[in-house]
Structure 1
């Protein structure tokens, strides 16, 4: 018998469980040992392969009806038998039942409250809260029921999908073909459980979706239509998200297929538009329907304000088209950027933008017939728009201010703790995918959940709690980081470092089964770390150093070490694949096998190219061996993509069509091109013998360089409520260290918050200490973030991390440093420590400012510390954004 497992972290959890079936991502981690279920008091959701009946009120909200229908399908997937869905009448109901409804809007549930059968007063009036309650004798003929009651319609939706995930239906059951394992018996323990989100609006932005999602959707659904969006909406809601920015490249959500907008509202999804599409109008609409006399012309408020106001009014009128004074569930973007997702004007036209927002709010008030504050609005402080905020532009207090990252995962600005709270609050727009400088990155997932956690935890601690939205590109292949992002958004406080560390295992167990959960969790962690070191679009034959040609053989150097890591990971991936059921193989290919093999193959391709060119330059026939390897790797890249497009009967044909090799600027090449290679002479027997390479190990260092992983500190000295915490795997190597909780103000060395590293120096000399840090930005706008360093009892030196985020031209040293840092996913700060003798010493790091993430310390008494990867940021110039 399989039992429903409550979350380990809920204070009011359902009581008891027998076996972990599938732990929802929002539960974060399973209990170490689940208590036994008492079948005498538990609710039999499925008994002997027969599921309980489902009950909703006649005339219930459409979102509740949608989720009840999908829950019936889910029970059928688990049990093999689809249950009855009873709409209203309960007179003939017999046996166990699941009752789904909204408090105050369900006659059945309100009757149970009035009769004292359930207590749900603690969710009344709350945002998206739900309570799941096992109830005895709720209705005539029903001995026991599970009641899922929402404070509002989405509360009921999330409470229901929460059960679906717990009984083994992954949110990705359709969008990644994650199979559902059959169960004959599923028990829900007696008791009650309450939950609700901590972040108000949580969702994602489909962007940069050409050629992949667009091409796939055209083949599968005839375009990006409501037939596609029904799956997107379901995915979002199953992950307990509620907010969507729709696809926008040449598309107009409400104009391409008007049924999409209707369906979103019917399912309970809050629709918005991207940072540069105000007033619920897609930018593409401005260039359509020019014969109607409203759209077209200059996207310029000073010259074409009348037409723009008419255009925007149309967006708000469409929002109100639901009828009877009701509006489609929407979050209205206000403000304005330039046409084509560029800056609106040279400089910072604060007065103009304030007038635009004021005029937009007048339109909102006029069309809705209500004060503008009663319609939720957001102002996205993206790219240059943040300059308006920094220069003091004011918008009404009810408008949510949406801060952004730098398009590469570093949040640029967060609320000032000294400023009074806003009724509209604050949010964050984050990126997993991007089109723009220093280079596009769109092909595969390159996002570490550890980095996501660090930045979004910082945002939450600093008060950005109204909106979390992430640019996911084509949705696929972002399954893993997207699930994590929305899990953290549901309850950031529960996503502790311990829960973060256990998340990969929990996620893998829920997706592929507990037997391989640990192994697959470790693989996705390793993959994410390796892929995040440098985006694949930024890799070529010159990205990493090969050791060179020696009399003993070829020294693979840093590049060879990285290729060996990918080779080992691919071997592990293949071994685990052999243990899976056949019905798990498609999901495994999409989420694990393809990204691992494709990235490993890409590294081998460029590594072979590096050796081909190095050997060819000296007329060494061994270059031919590597030429063969380049050609084989290039062929394999195409084979992996073709296989992706044919799995599950070609369901995902087109989804991996992104060009990802041989970039020469920030933008995509027009086609996939193999790196150029050279061949040396004819393949004679002697040449064939000489062309076989022999690899040798790298030479040891000269003893003048000590490398210390940041988590390997000797002592941690905490203070002022701050504690040093290791985040395993964050960054390039073992992990990183930072002071928690985040969001606190500055410290001074006198506070004594420091890490100490005991070291033995073998080679005396002038010492340089170099810190390897994860790239971060000063979210307060004070010019940089500081960390202190000292040696032994020497004076503390303050090192300042000062990066100037930009997706445009490198016209300042700060922008150049930023571009190098995001390309390398690493930034270095160095301090000169004077002459150091051989023997024992103690290095100290001092917490001065927040948002400093230390990965490694390098103490050098040689001429210079070891180099890091070459930066290829020189291709930066002005580019559109996403």
Structure 2
């Protein structure tokens, strides 16, 4: 468990909209200030001179490199140039008369060891710890030195992290190069006398995995780090010049582990200095889940070995190949992937059996014994076995299945559990598994190639989801290794750092302060005040929510309903509001911050919004064409414009900073035909439609469409009624508890002739938003909406109230065209004194966080996870526990509701509970459960995830273009019989932890098709 020895605070003095006075420290309290205070240490004082920096020459090379970066960072911030000098213990006299910064590692730096000996400085809090550090002002550390500021690490990376922590606080973002975050200049820098300190991190190995490197990262690296020619064997651009930039970034973010790029690359072969430099910088190297024994397989195997990758027929050559990999990696700090998979992340053959794979592990263990010799305890060599179905195709999803069927590996090998490639962790250690010496970890994804679709283009992961899943990993003690697949790395900058930050100190970040993290991040990156940072936090939160509820690669023309709940309208309005908010901040930022803000916030906002508009307008094009409306052509033109704009936005990114990030947005993302990326952006599916602009529709110049219908009037349309002809006029129904509060009629052109129209009603209570107007196919708007509502519900009689409307179109030289829809207003009344949600439009829709009552049992209660999920938030039982509650005995959520109807008057209602996607994370033998009850009926034990068809597979309903992983929701539907109109209470009780509920929908007969479900019902 991580422990920050000081709590984190984020303070800002609001001097102007874009000026932060206080240092920002993500993860702990700041110990850097920009003004002197009593007892503070001057890093750069009022004389504009920088304190000299000293290290011992016997210090780790990685610490020397970090110290050089720190000196450069001080100069970057203040323009003062600190000296950087190596000094031995015998030359300490050279420090006389200085006020230095002393950097070093306990037991490695003779300078620091001498200081501790001289001063009696208490270092017990970090002695012998993993990656821990302290910093503070020390008086009289050596003769002639009045005071010094020391940064001391428990080990190599402890010191490195202490140094880079100070770099961040003085104002240098880890992303200063990789995302062009500028540094605000300061005249002075001071350290508080108590300094900063941090104990052991939560997670021992915290890293990223570069993957799916084409077409973006690889092409960019070719352009920026080669002369056009890549490595000898694989023509890879990922050489030492690329990797040293990455090593520095990882360490600045308090990460320590890397799975390198692998497709068409081999880290150790592409540049012989790659692994040497990783170790020199202090980054632990590994290889991906399907590249055992530090070999880049399959690439290296095809060059440096013989025969097939088949252990049953070619084990001698494969073992020799592995021996060479271990011998090559032995001098360096490495974490070895164990086991064996097929070539290129494919499964092994169906005939592969557990006994063979256990023999593979045994042979790999023997290789370690032979290479490392008797002086090394093999159980101390870091090893990991990834239980991952990472490339999801065909019937074989084998690795986790092997474990579930009984395969075991030595106790000291870390079990690396994986998510489902979509951010939903499949399994956590059970209590009996938590005592293993090697522990457990998590392989997570921000990027993926495979079923049901690739997602590689933009950020689509909610930080709220990351926290919910990774905090569960902490609670279940899966904290030995965390690795996240980051694809090309950009544009997942913020998500990467948050993932690593939780791994560095999970106690700092909670379910309720994700927004605080983003605000602090925004202050650090853009030097904005707290109010502006809060606005940026809201933008980021909504950006990731909108992209996570269905990834852009999975969108189509009818994802969001075009006719029900104004869903598509609301989605586009949300995107437009987000673009406006982001644009306002972008325009107000100083020029030096625009490039960073564009990359990290603005580009994904405008690019995502543009795609959202493209697909909705494509849907409207198809719909209006089927309705014989000239509006189809206007929507076609808009789609073409959005398609062109997609390219322009991409080019805007590529032209940034004279093309520094050229290629990074070249990932195709429009027009998927199956799981794999399209070879080119394709306009849309289904095909767009053009309607004749010269020929008038058969029924006349006017087309009428109405809310909640795909039909059109006058004339025939297959959606006007069951038969599709002689259907009669449209009917629109509104009740007084309908959340939206109105219904609309759209009027558009049926041909090239302009016409005028009038709208009248035969009753006074029918409020009509506009009673006259004109329509032309050539007009600025393709259609006009007329909104119908009730002027005064109190004047209506209970029950049905019917109004007849008359819409008359007059076109030159033509007989008037008349349509007469019916408008029905239903007045309902909940029982006096009722308090709760009330049925509107035949449905009760409730956000899970809005319970009428909730109970606590044994300190456990349902708590809101703000911002998580598709619409508002989620709720989950906290704190988490291993033990189940008996059905109905756990903490309960109660929702009071009032219904006027049942489905077709049958006495039946359906209750749909929408859950965050989840797995039986304690194995199928102990499936996740919660309790569900209506009124006084017996509690129903709900198991939302059915058992697997075979070990290691995915549950029914997971996959496919419209499965619950694609829809980012897991629905559970229950039917209740014998329900009378009136007041009722729905009860949800906790049985297990790890359940997250987002929304509840109760259908009383009026539920309409939509993606996100009805808006929340009115609560009285």
- Assess same fold via TM > 0.5: yes
Partner of 1:536: 552
The Cα of 1:483 is off from its aligned counterpart by: 1.1
Partner of 1:465: 479
Alignment partner for residue 376 of structure 1, among 379, 382, 390? 382
Alignment partner for residue 689 of structure 2, among 678, 682, 694? 678
Partner of 1:77: 76
Q: Which of the pair has the greater relative contact order for Cα pairs under 8 Å at 6+ separation?
A: 1
Is the CA contact (8 Å cut-off) linking 1:406 and 1:805 kept in structure 2?
A: no
Alignment partner for residue 560 of structure 1, among 539, 563, 569? 569
Structure 1 segments unaligned to the other structure (5+ residues)? 1-6, 321-326, 548-554, 871-882
* In 2: Cα distance, 1:814 partner to 1:427 partner: 27
Aligned with 2:442: secondary structure? Answer: strand
The Cα of 1:133 is off from its aligned counterpart by: 1.6
Alignment partner for residue 715 of structure 1, among 853, 857, 876? 853
The Cα of 1:811 is off from its aligned counterpart by: 9.6
1:303 aligned to 2:301? no
Question: Structure 1 residues 696, 268: CA separation in 2 closer, same or farther (over 3 Å shift)?
Answer: farther
Question: Structure 1 residues 170, 55: CA separation in 2 closer, same or farther (over 3 Å shift)?
Answer: same
1:198-237 equivalent positions in 2, closer than 5 A: 198-222=202-226, 223-237=237-251
Rg bigger for which structure?
A: 2
Is the CA contact (8 Å cut-off) linking 2:861 and 2:892 kept in structure 1?
A: no
Is the CA contact (8 Å cut-off) linking 1:431 and 1:470 kept in structure 2?
A: yes
* In 2: Cα distance, 1:406 partner to 1:8 partner: 30
The Cα of 1:288 is off from its aligned counterpart by: 4.1
1:763 aligned to 2:763? no
Alignment partner for residue 847 of structure 1, among 974, 979, 990? 990
* In 1: Cα distance, 2:434 partner to 2:423 partner: 27
Alignment partner for residue 688 of structure 1, among 777, 793, 798? 777
Question: RMSD over aligned Cα, in angstroms?
Answer: 2.8
Partner of 1:597: 606
Question: Structure 1 residues 37, 434: CA separation in 2 closer, same or farther (over 3 Å shift)?
Answer: same
Aligned with 1:317: secondary structure? Answer: helix
1:319 aligned to 2:322? no
1:795 aligned to 2:942? no
Partner of 2:561: 545
The Cα of 1:13 is off from its aligned counterpart by: 8.8
* In 1: Cα distance, 2:949 partner to 2:185 partner: 51
The Cα of 1:841 is off from its aligned counterpart by: 2.2
Partner of 1:324: none
The Cα of 1:791 is off from its aligned counterpart by: 1.9
Question: Structure 1 residues 249, 428: CA separation in 2 closer, same or farther (over 3 Å shift)?
Answer: same
1:254 aligned to 2:268? yes
Q: What does the per-residue CA deviation read over 1:318-345, in whole Å, with 9 as the maximum and x for residues that have no partner?
A: 113xxxxxx2010011100011211112
Partner of 1:423: 437
Partner of 1:323: none
* In 2: Cα distance, 1:698 partner to 1:808 partner: 56
* In 2: Cα distance, 1:112 partner to 1:35 partner: 25
The Cα of 1:140 is off from its aligned counterpart by: 4.1
Question: Structure 1 residues 15, 593: CA separation in 2 closer, same or farther (over 3 Å shift)?
Answer: closer
The Cα of 1:689 is off from its aligned counterpart by: 3.7
The Cα of 1:817 is off from its aligned counterpart by: 7.9
Partner of 2:891: 753
Question: Structure 1 residues 843, 643: CA separation in 2 closer, same or farther (over 3 Å shift)?
Answer: same
Is the CA contact (8 Å cut-off) linking 1:102 and 1:149 kept in structure 2?
A: yes
Aligned with 1:573: secondary structure? Answer: helix
Choose 421-430 or 860-869, whichever is displaced more. Answer: 860-869
Q: What does the per-residue CA deviation read over 1:158-195, in whole Å, with 9 as the maximum and x for residues that have no partner?
A: 01111111111111111111111001112211114431
1:773 aligned to 2:915? yes
Partner of 2:346: 342
* In 1: Cα distance, 2:593 partner to 2:473 partner: 36
* In 2: Cα distance, 1:685 partner to 1:30 partner: 69
Question: Structure 1 residues 126, 17: CA separation in 2 closer, same or farther (over 3 Å shift)?
Answer: farther
Is the CA contact (8 Å cut-off) linking 1:612 and 1:678 kept in structure 2?
A: yes
Q: What does the per-residue CA deviation read over 1:749-798, in whole Å, with 9 as the maximum and x for residues that have no partner?
A: 35341111222323354222111111011111125321111122321112
The Cα of 1:805 is off from its aligned counterpart by: 8.2
Alignment partner for residue 634 of structure 1, among 643, 646, 653? 643
Aligned with 2:943: secondary structure? Answer: strand
Partner of 1:822: 965
The Cα of 1:96 is off from its aligned counterpart by: 2.8
1:837 aligned to 2:980? yes
The Cα of 1:299 is off from its aligned counterpart by: 0.7
Partner of 1:435: 449
Question: Structure 1 residues 824, 246: CA separation in 2 closer, same or farther (over 3 Å shift)?
Answer: same
Is the CA contact (8 Å cut-off) linking 2:4 and 2:505 kept in structure 1?
A: no
Partner of 2:409: 395
The Cα of 1:801 is off from its aligned counterpart by: 1.4
Alignment partner for residue 495 of structure 2, among 470, 481, 487? 481
* In 2: Cα distance, 1:303 partner to 1:424 partner: 31
Partner of 1:42: 40
* In 2: Cα distance, 1:606 partner to 1:697 partner: 25
1:130-145 equivalent positions in 2, closer than 5 A: 130-145=133-148
Is the CA contact (8 Å cut-off) linking 1:14 and 1:191 kept in structure 2?
A: no
Is the CA contact (8 Å cut-off) linking 1:16 and 1:36 kept in structure 2?
A: no
* In 1: Cα distance, 2:1005 partner to 2:8 partner: 59
Is the CA contact (8 Å cut-off) linking 1:14 and 1:193 kept in structure 2?
A: no
